[in-house]
Chain A
Amino acid sequence: MGRFGFCLEVSGPLACFTRPEMKVERVSYDVITPSAARAIYSALLWKPAIRWRIDQIDVLAPIRWINIRRNEVGAVGGETPINAVDNRVQRASLMLRDVRYRLHAHFDFIPPAERPKVYAEAPDWLRPDDPVFTSEAGPDEKPAKYAAMFERRARKGQCFIRPYLGCRECAADFRLVDHPDTEPIQPIPEDRDLGFMLYDLDFSNPQDPQPMFYHAKMTQGVITVPAPDSEEVKR
């Protein structure tokens, strides 16, 4: 089975990859997390049959910040309407500005028996390029098909949901990069130890997802992301 690797360039005027230890008054990590990068790939294409893995993150724009304080609602949603004035909290977000990354990723193909259960299957009209696949394996299901679907969507600017950079108000533009090595924009010439960063959530128990962390180091603008089962990923 071949490995299908892709490279997406994503950018946006704002981004907030919230540090889990500072999420009341949000403070972003310096760079995108593998988890947020995976969500961008999944926003274009995801199936229970595939699992996106981020391999490398290239940081193409200098790391810059902006502080924004907003009135937010402090109450938890129940069954009745929430009064926004009585439940007002003001929260600051230290966000990133004018970000640009190249995200290198591939997907693993999951055998039918190991696939996660899908509660709400998307209707057929939402899967125009995918009439035969469901969460069950189709007779002619091959990883190459998913790779072709992803490539087609990424090239056309199609997305299942609008990808975003950490928070939904930070919408991301994306572009499929065919030859990352020959791109005119190169990663920023900067080394930085980013400390322990969120790697992703471990959904092996879907009712109680556990965070995973890794020690992120940026070398000349490039962050190599370890495999989830490697020793570098701490649970």
Chain B
Amino acid sequence: MSDPIKNRYDFVLLFDVLDGNPNGDPDAGNLPRIDPETGHGLVTDVCLKRKIRNRIQLAQANKPGYDIFIQEKAILNNVMVATGTEHPDPADPSQILPELGTPDSAKGDAKAKGVQDRTTRMCETFFDIRAFGAVLTTKPKAKNKLDYTGGQVRGPIQFTFARSVDPIVTLEHAITRMAVATEEEAEKQSGDNRTMGRKNTVPYGLYAAHGFIVPSFAARTGFSEEDLNVFWNAVKMMFVDDPSAARGTMTVRRLIVFKHDSALGNAQAAELFERVTVKRKDETKPAREYADYEVTVDDKDLPAGITLVPESELGK
């Protein structure tokens, strides 16, 4: 395993959606998530992490150490079946972790070490555990509590909820289909065989998410410079493999990364984020494309020890 990263990063991710639903709200009949008090659109942290996992699973297939622990089914089948024998079979733990001991059999410190070794192996195998962490339980909690405490991994990367720059409107579209699924439905319709459906979209929304990378957890999980590069690349490409009828057109527009000289950081994250301003060019017209916004990053007189990483350098 290569060296863990040694710098702190704070980043702003700007992405937009055109005629799509960036993140449905299961509580609201899959309407786009909205902050009821302000009308701003929301995209959850877990939604963004899902896209990144999926992207890495596709882009880094076959590459040892870049397996994804929390997988989505469709992609799991595609990748795992297609890659054949050189890729570990997820159904067979012996293939993934051949040297995995049984921490249960040891006692005391040795047991703790067993958990640690196991955690290390899991981190080496799975990119998302290295990056985002995971709760890993070896044995039932009640019997063996030490395993439980040793089995929690916190990763260096932390996302917050993305929030739209302006309040969003959601459109509801009635759509029809020209066939039905069952005989009963056909009978009910006396052979007309047409049903109505609903689809909800945001005509346009520009969203901003904040993210943090702390090397203290990278030291534990072994998240390296190379991993970081893979991560930046996945962030930039997170919507590329994710088109669907629901999403419309989603695009990552900017990834603004502040790099701290040191592991602990050199400035308040909030002060760095304030340097990114996103404004609508014409306040009287609703925004319908990215060009309706002006994004400025104030890189003058950055605090000592802070560099703004050029976007072209990220995820090369």
For residue B136, which residues in chain A have a CB less than 8 angstroms away from its CB? Answer: 77-78
Contact B73 A85 (CB under 8 A): yes
A68 interface contact, C-beta 8 A: yes
For residue B41, which residues in chain A have a CB less than 8 angstroms away from its CB? Answer: none
Q: What string of 1s and 0s marks CB contacts (under 8 Å) between B74-102 and chain A?
A: 10100000000000001101001100100
Contact B265 A157 (CB under 8 A): yes
A153 interface contact, C-beta 8 A: yes
B310 interface contact, C-beta 8 A: no
How many cross-chain pairs have Cβ atoms below 8 Å apart between A and B? 147
Contact B35 A70 (CB under 8 A): no
Contact A83 B76 (CB under 8 A): yes
Smallest beta-carbon distance A234→chain B, Å: 23
Contact B76 A81 (CB under 8 A): yes
For residue B112, which residues in chain A have a CB less than 8 angstroms away from its CB? Answer: 119
In this complex, what residue of A is CB-closest to B48? A169
A212 interface contact, C-beta 8 A: no
A135 interface contact, C-beta 8 A: no
Q: A120-B220, A170-B160 are in contact. Are A158 and B265 (CB under 8 A)?
A: yes
Contact A122 B216 (CB under 8 A): yes
Contact B151 A126 (CB under 8 A): no
Pick the residue among A64, A68, A123, A162 that contacts B212 (CB under 8 A). Answer: A162
Smallest beta-carbon distance A198→chain B, Å: 18
For residue A171, which residues in chain B have a CB less than 8 angstroms away from its CB? Answer: 158, 160, 210, 212, 269
Give the distance in Å from the alpha carbon of A82 to the alpha carbon of B154 in the complex: 17
In this complex, what residue of B is CB-closest to A155? B268
For residue B158, which residues in chain A have a CB less than 8 angstroms away from its CB? Answer: 162, 164, 168-169, 171
Contact B163 A13 (CB under 8 A): yes
Contact A157 B149 (CB under 8 A): no
A157-202 CB contacts (< 8 Å) to partner B: 157-162, 164, 168-171, 173-175
A32-87 CB contacts (< 8 Å) to partner B: 64, 66-73, 76-86
Q: What string of 1s and 0s marks CB contacts (under 8 Å) between A115-159 and chain B?
A: 000011011011011000000000000000000000001001111
Q: What string of 1s and 0s marks CB contacts (under 8 Å) between B174-216 and chain A?
A: 0000000000000000000000000000000000001010111
Contact A169 B90 (CB under 8 A): no
Q: A79-B96, A81-B70, A156-B266 are in contact. Are A123 and B91 (CB under 8 A)?
A: no
In this complex, what residue of B is CB-closest to A69? B27
Contact B73 A79 (CB under 8 A): no
Pick the residue among B45, B97, B116, B216 that contacts A161 (CB under 8 A). Answer: B216
Contact A69 B25 (CB under 8 A): yes
Q: A82-B70, A157-B271, A207-B149 are in contact. Are A77 and B212 (CB under 8 A)?
A: no
Q: How many of B's residues come within 8 Å of A, CB to CB?
A: 66
Q: How many of A's residues come within 8 Å of B, CB to CB?
A: 52
A208 interface contact, C-beta 8 A: yes
B228 interface contact, C-beta 8 A: no
Give the distance in Å from the alpha carbon of A202 to the alpha carbon of B105 in the complex: 28
A14 interface contact, C-beta 8 A: yes
Q: A77-B151, A78-B137 are in contact. Are A169 and B215 (CB under 8 A)?
A: no
A2 interface contact, C-beta 8 A: no
In this complex, what residue of B is CB-closest to A75? B70
Smallest beta-carbon distance B22→chain A, Å: 14
Smallest beta-carbon distance A152→chain B, Å: 10
Contact A169 B45 (CB under 8 A): yes
Q: A77-B135, A81-B90 are in contact. Are A68 and B44 (CB under 8 A)?
A: yes
Q: What string of 1s and 0s marks CB contacts (under 8 Å) between B262-299 and chain A?
A: 11111111110000000000000000000000000000
In this complex, what residue of B is CB-closest to A157? B268
For residue B74, which residues in chain A have a CB less than 8 angstroms away from its CB? Answer: 85
For residue A81, which residues in chain B have a CB less than 8 angstroms away from its CB? Answer: 67-71, 76, 90, 126
Complex A-B: 13 CB contacts under 8 Å:
A66-B36, A73-B70, A76-B135, A79-B97, A84-B50, A119-B116, A156-B267, A157-B270, A160-B264, A162-B269, A170-B160, A175-B268, A206-B149
State the A residues within 8 Å of B (CB).
Answer: 13-14, 64, 66-73, 76-86, 90, 92, 97, 119-120, 122-123, 125-126, 128-129, 153, 156-162, 164, 168-171, 173-175, 206-208
- Which 7 A-B residue pairings sit nearest by Cβ, starting from the closest? A157-B268, A158-B264, A169-B45, A85-B73, A69-B27, A162-B212, A173-B270
Q: 5 new A-B pairs (CB below 8 Å) besides A77-B136, A169-B159?
A: A69-B25, A69-B27, A76-B135, A77-B151, A79-B122
